[in-house]
């Protein structure tokens, strides 16, 4: 049992992560899909993973399977608080980790597993293996998670909204006690049944809460000096979960470009920044995909003040299965 002793300053700084972390969620998803019991709770993702048979995707999955612990906590440096805006930003945060910390955390993570040559090089912070890890994350994210990213993000927003309703109706106790059965508020201590035990005082930095359908069977906690304590807890996918089958547009457009087009098919105005957040890639990547979709006559782009907004054309609507002449508004 982990006991988080919260002082008044911590209680004033309890907040939710504004969005899912693309790299952190990728690693949790890769780990979850290796567990048959967890995979059964994520049928859409499991089907997409099984259908991603291209050699680079299978090689990426194999590399991640070897470099990540099969179950339990991930090394903290692989789930940084920084880099939440995109996969490249998250990987940059990981690459900035000091080699001494990489060695210490991976040595502990691999204590009960085989010491393969690739793992030894990862422990040594070998730049080639760090590059291999980054390529594997990007490849697997694009093939498996990108088609579901908008739906996973919607699930996150749904649970945050529900938590806000509990806070409004019942106060802080209702918020904290309603997060997950393995999280209990015993003032002034928040008890979390996680992968490790002890007592932590955030020291006024507060808590950063993240509901995720890919957290695994129990909450995960990341605590470090000078930063809020991150609590990632399991959240049901429910009706707002991932699309139930592989996107049929992915083989035609590529998974990420198809995800951008799907996002544009949802109601609301869509800026380049908003698309990057929703799909989990960088601004330059979204701009590249938008340019290709625009060249194909599937979207239009206009400038509105400082922002650039994208909109489906009638052809884009038809490609997504909408009636001719219907437009996103």
Dump pLDDT digits (tens) for 271-319: 888 888 777 677 778 888 999 999 999 999 998 787 889 999 999 888 8
Residue 243 lies in a domain: no
The rounded distance, in Å, linking the Cα atoms of 93 and 87 is 10
Is there a single domain that holds both residue 182 and residue 140?
no
Q: Which helix (H) or strand (E) holds 224?
A: none
The rounded distance, in Å, linking the Cα atoms of 126 and 133 is 11
Q: What are phi and psi of 168, to 5 degrees?
A: -65, -40
Residue 179 lies in a domain: yes
The rounded distance, in Å, linking the Cα atoms of 285 and 141 is 14
Residue 225 lies in a domain: yes
Strand 2-5's sheet: what is its strand order?
183-186, 189-192, 2-5, 198-200
Q: Which domain holds residue 312?
A: 250-319
The rounded distance, in Å, linking the Cα atoms of 269 and 116 is 49
Q: What is the pLDDT of residue 329?
A: 39
Is there a single domain that holds both residue 160 and residue 304?
no
Of 146, 170, 196, which one is at a domain's C-terminal end? 146
Is there a single domain that holds both residue 218 and residue 307?
no
- Percentage helix, strand, coil for the chain under 3-state DSSP, each rounded to 5: 50, 15, 35
Token pair in block for residue 28: 């949790």
Q: What's the pLDDT band for 322 if we cut at 50, 70, 90?
A: low
Contact 205, 15 (CB under 8 A): no
Pairwise pLDDT comparison (248 vs 288), residue with the higher score:
288
Is there a single domain that holds both residue 69 and residue 101?
yes
- Average pLDDT over the chain reads 88
Of 238, 267, 295, which one is at a domain's C-terminal end? 238
Q: What is the pLDDT of residue 324?
A: 47
183: helix, coil or strand?
strand
Is there a single domain that holds both residue 26 and residue 105?
yes
């Amino acid at each position: 049992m982990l006991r988080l002793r919260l002082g008044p300053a911590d209680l004033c700084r309890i907040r939710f992560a504004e969005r899912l972390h693309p790299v952190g969620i990728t690693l949790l998803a890769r780990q979850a899909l290796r567990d048959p019991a967890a995979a059964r709770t994520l049928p859409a993702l499991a089907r997409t993973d099984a259908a991603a048979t291209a050699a680079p995707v299978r090689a990426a999955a194999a590399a991640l399977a070897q470099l990540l612990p099969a179950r339990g906590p991930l090394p903290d440096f692989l789930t940084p608080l920084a880099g939440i805006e995109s996969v490249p930003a998250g990987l940059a945060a990981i690459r900035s980790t000091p080699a001494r910390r990489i060695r210490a955390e991976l040595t502990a993570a691999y204590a009960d597993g085989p010491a393969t040559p690739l793992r030894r090089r990862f422990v040594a912070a070998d730049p080639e293996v760090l590059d291999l890890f980054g390529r594997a994350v990007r490849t697997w994210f694009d093939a498996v998670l990108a088609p579901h990213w908008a739906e996973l993000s919607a699930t996150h927003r749904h649970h945050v909204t529900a938590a806000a309703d509990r806070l409004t109706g019942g106060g802080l106790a209702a918020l904290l006690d309603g997060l997950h059965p393995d999280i209990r508020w015993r003032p002034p201590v928040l008890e979390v049944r996680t992968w490790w035990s002890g007592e932590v005082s955030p020291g006024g930095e507060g808590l950063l809460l993240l509901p995720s359908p890919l957290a695994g069977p129990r909450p995960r906690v990341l605590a470090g000096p000078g930063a809020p304590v991150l609590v990632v807890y399991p959240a049901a996918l429910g009706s707002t979960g991932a699309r139930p089958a592989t996107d049929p547009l992915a083989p035609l457009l590529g998974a990420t470009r198809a995800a951008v087009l799907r996002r544009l098919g949802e109601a609301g105005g869509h800026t380049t920044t908003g698309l990057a957040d929703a799909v989990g890639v960088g601004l330059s990547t979204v701009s590249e995909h938008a340019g290709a979709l625009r060249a194909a006559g599937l979207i239009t782009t206009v400038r509105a003040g400082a922002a650039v907004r994208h909109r489906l054309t009638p052809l884009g609507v038809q490609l997504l299965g909408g009636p001719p002449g219907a437009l996103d508004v």
